[in-house]
Chains A and B, each alone.
Chain A
Amino acid sequence: MIDVIIVGAGPAGLSAANVCAKNGLKVKVVDEFMKAGGRLLGQLHEEPDGTWWNGIEEAKKLSEDAQELNVAVECGVSVHNIKQEKSYWKVYTTKGDFKTRALLLATGAAETSLPIPGWTLPGVMSIGAAQVMTNVHRVRVGERGVVIGINILSAAITRELQLAGIEVSSMYLPGKNIVTEDAAKPLSTMKSMLKVASLAPSKLIRLGSYFMKYESLQSLAVRFYPKNGMKVWGMPVHLRKAVLEIVGDKKVEGVKVAQVDVNGEPILSTEKFVPADFVCIAGGLYPLVELAAISGCPFQYIAELGGHVPVHNENMKTPIDGLYVAGNITGIESAKVAMKQGAVAGYSISMDLLKTDVNIEDQLQQAINHVKQTRNQATIQFHPDIHSGREKIHASFKNTLRTDI
Chain B
Amino acid sequence: MRDHKTIICRCEEVSLEDLVRTAESYRCSSRELKLRTRAGMGQCGGRTCRALVDSITQKCTNDSTPHDIPLGYQAPIRPITFSIMGEKKDE
Q: Nearest CB to that of A80 among chain B residues? A: B76
| B73–A301 CB distance below 8 A | no
Q: For the complex, would chain B's binding face be called helix, strand, loop or mixed by DSSP majority? A: loop
B59: chain A residues at CB < 8 Å are: 178-179
Assuming A117-B5, A179-B16, A179-B52, is B80 touching A293 (CB within 8 A)?
no
Q: Is there a chain A Cβ closer than 8 Å to B48's Cβ?
A: yes
On whether A81 and B84 interact (CB within 8 A), knowing A119-B6, A245-B4, the answer reads no
- The total of chain B residues at the interface (CB under 8 A) is 33
Is A113 an interface residue, CB under 8 A from the partner? yes
Q: A360 CA to B91 CA in the complex, in Å? A: 33
Encoded as 1 (CB less than 8 Å from any A CB) or 0, chain B from 57 to 91 comes to 00110000111110011111110100010000101
Check if B72 sits within 8 Å of A178, measured CB to CB.
no
Q: A113-B52, A119-B7, A286-B51 are in contact. Are A78 and B74 (CB under 8 A)?
A: no
Over the window 31-52 of chain A, the binary record of Cβ atoms lying under 8 Å from chain B Cβ atoms (1 yes, 0 no) is: 0100000000000000000000
Which residues of B are in contact with A by a Cβ distance under 8 Å?
2, 4-8, 10, 16, 20, 47-48, 51-52, 55-56, 59-60, 65-69, 72-78, 80, 84, 89, 91
A-B contact pairs, 28 of them (CB 8 A): A78-B78, A79-B78, A80-B76, A80-B77, A81-B77, A82-B75, A92-B76, A94-B78, A94-B80, A96-B89, A97-B89, A97-B91, A115-B7, A115-B8, A115-B52, A178-B56, A178-B59, A179-B8, A179-B52, A245-B4, A290-B77, A291-B77, A293-B73, A298-B67, A299-B68, A300-B67, A301-B67, A308-B69
Inter-chain contact A99/B91, CB cutoff 8 Å: yes
Separation of A369 and B5 alpha carbons in the complex (Å): 50
Least Cβ–Cβ distance between A257 and chain B, in angstroms? 16
Q: Roughly how many angstroms separate A303 CA and B74 CA in the complex, as a whole number?
A: 24
**How many A residues, CB 8 Å from partner?**
37
Q: Which partner residue on chain A sits nearest B3 by CB separation? A: A117
B73 contacts which chain A residues (CB < 8 A)?
A: 290, 293-294
A294 and B91 contact, CB distance less than 8 A: no
Residue with the greatest number of chain B CB neighbours at <10 A, chosen from A110, A178, A289, A307:
A178
Q: Which residues from A are CB-within-8-Å of B10?
A: 120
Q: Which chain A residues border B76 with CB–CB below 8 Å?
A: 80-81, 92
- Closest A residue to B85 by beta carbon equals A80
Which among A32, A245, A293 is the interface contact of B72 at CB below 8 angstroms? Answer: A293
Given A81-B76, A178-B16, A301-B67, are A117 and B6 also a contact pair (CB < 8 Å)? yes
Distance in Å: Cβ of A275 to nearest Cβ of chain B: 17
Chain A residues proximal to chain B, CB less than 8 Å: 32, 78-82, 92, 94, 96-97, 99, 110, 112-113, 115-117, 119-120, 177-179, 245, 249, 286, 289-291, 293-294, 298-301, 303, 307-308
Closest residue to B64 on the A side, CB-wise? Answer: A301
State the Cβ distance, A93 to closest chain B Cβ, in Å.
Answer: 9
A113 to B, closest residue via Cβ: B48
In the complex, which residues of chain A have a beta carbon less than 8 angstroms from the beta carbon of B65? 301, 303
The residue in chain B whose Cβ has the minimal distance to the Cβ of A83 is B75
Tell me the smallest distance from the CB of B48 to a CB of chain A, in Å: 6
| B4, B55, B65, B77 pick with most chain A CB within 10 angstroms | B77
Chain A residues with CB under 8 A of B2: 249
Across-interface contacts of A119 in B (CB, < 8 A): 6-7
**A115 B72 Cβ-Cβ under 8 A:** no
In the bound assembly, the distance between CA atoms of A110 and B73 in angstroms comes to 15
Q: Which residues of B contact A294 (CB under 8 A)?
A: 73-75, 77
